[in-house]
Structure 1
Amino acid sequence: MVEYHPPAPLISKLSHSDIPVSYLHQLCPKGNDSHSSIAVKQITSAVAEHQPSVIHTHGYKAALLARSAELFTRTFPRLISTYHAGETPTGIVWLYDWLDRYSGRLSDHCFAVSQSIQNKLPIKAELLNNFVSLPELNSNYKEIAFVGRLSHEKGADRFIDIAKHLPDRQFSIYGDGPERETLSQQAPKNVVFHGHQSNMNEVWNNIGVLIISSRYEGLPMAALEAMSRGIVVFTLNVGRMSDLIEDGNNGFIAQDILNLIEKLNHWITMSVYTQSLIRKKAIKTISEQYSSQSVIPILIERYQIES
């Protein structure tokens, strides 16, 4: 709904696949009311003009606006909502999150991307795996990396702590966010900040290990993207990571940062052959359970209009 600058990575992927993209403000002109009122009117106008069969919302803001529009529209398309945020919000965001959860009954079907998120909902929601397309395998498997927003919940500060314990190894951070300046001041010399990336395919090709140091998670796309390429994921036990990772088999899952450092040191001492076996098992996990081929049929079924 919002046109970000630079554009979200999804936009480049859609364009690369020749899938047309339109923003809400391009579909319908703005009025003279408040921002939220404008958005609701834009949605109702867009529905009346373009008559979509399904609207899928992702995030509390999109869900609240779409459900508000539904209340003012006599014939509204099938409304599907995804709950993906694992953190407990504070301040005004807490209120938005509460409204999103308790208004979920207005959606025709709801998905949750983790068991903990599903348990927080006062409505029925189906547990759904995030998914990725299977890429060509051409990784150089070199860097130890963090990929994500530089914010408190993603735990980039913990990644820097790990780098301090391994001064002879190079660590890379891909992403930007509100903690960038603070993190830069805390980081040792073996941490390189690469900033926002517009083409992650090139970035993935150089990563050998992805570290998930988040304080809160659902089922992070970065982990799926990494494993689909044979990049081994080292993660704290957050969100649905224990569903995705079988410790020592297709990746590594740790109970705290010190435990993660121990496992990372153990990985470094492994033979290339043993490492390759774990990489292959990571790819197999994504192919069988978290690929577009395995999940999209479920989505299509839920998108169908129920009689």
Structure 2
Amino acid sequence: MWERVERFKVGEAVESDHQPLEVEVKGVGGRRRAELGSKFIRTDWSEEGVAFYRGNLDTWQQRIQEINGLEELTQVVREATLKRECVRRGDKVGRNDWYDGECKKAKREARRRLRLWRRGKIGVDRYREARREYRELCSGKKTELREKEAAEIRGITREGEVWRYLKKGKKGREMITSEIHMTEWKSYFMGLLGGVETRLTGLGGYEGDGGEEIAEEEMEAVLRRLKKGKAPGEDGIHNEAWLEASRVVRVKLLEGMNIVWRGGGIPEGWKVGVICPVYI
């Protein structure tokens, strides 16, 4: 085991009197610090990004009109978006709402003095002073937030305000039970499919229901319900791409959807998805 240890040191925790022991071990996963500093490409949907996207679609009108199928359309939409290179930072998992930039600054100062004290450049009293100031600042921020929440709760007089307050704390997420049996999942998805287990036929054809084609008004109604800021699927297309799409793109999207509806086959990209079970 010791031959796999790359580095072993005492950490720099200022939240507690006890210091952690940090060990870096060789492994397949690599180091977490390197992962956080890695670069990645992100689609820009700011005002500048939307203007860039719309400009490309206007310029490529002839190219879009010659598109044949949804696969080509998604490729053009993907190419039209503005991409930016970003550096991966740490996530905010476990971070409290009261923890702000002032707390970060005080923590950095306390850790700086801890390193100086360990090197013998300052006395322990100076480190303890910075640590005490950091803890008192965090305690004050926490108390201030609790008092603010308590005042907000006391000011609630209607049932609707109660639910808005509760949903704000949940941030739009709902509790999901793990006590769901396969028969319940089957019944649920059969209801979405109109009472049948599957609508796939042959090598990927789609039966449809023999009714009328998808109307433009139906498609527009669905697009209007799309939410912004959501993670894309495997194709890398964000909801914003369809919400900000030009008229010619929407026409081609409707044509492609009706081809699928008439039994023209499901695009390969639609057969791939990411399913993440959540257990609470």
TM band (smaller chain): under 0.3
Superposition TM-score, scaled by structure 2 size:
0.22
Greater strand share, structure number? 1
Q: Which has the higher contact order (CA 8 A, sep 6+)?
A: 2
Structure with the greater alpha carbon radius of gyration: 2
The alignment's TM-score, normalised by the length of structure 1, stands at 0.21
More helix by share: 2
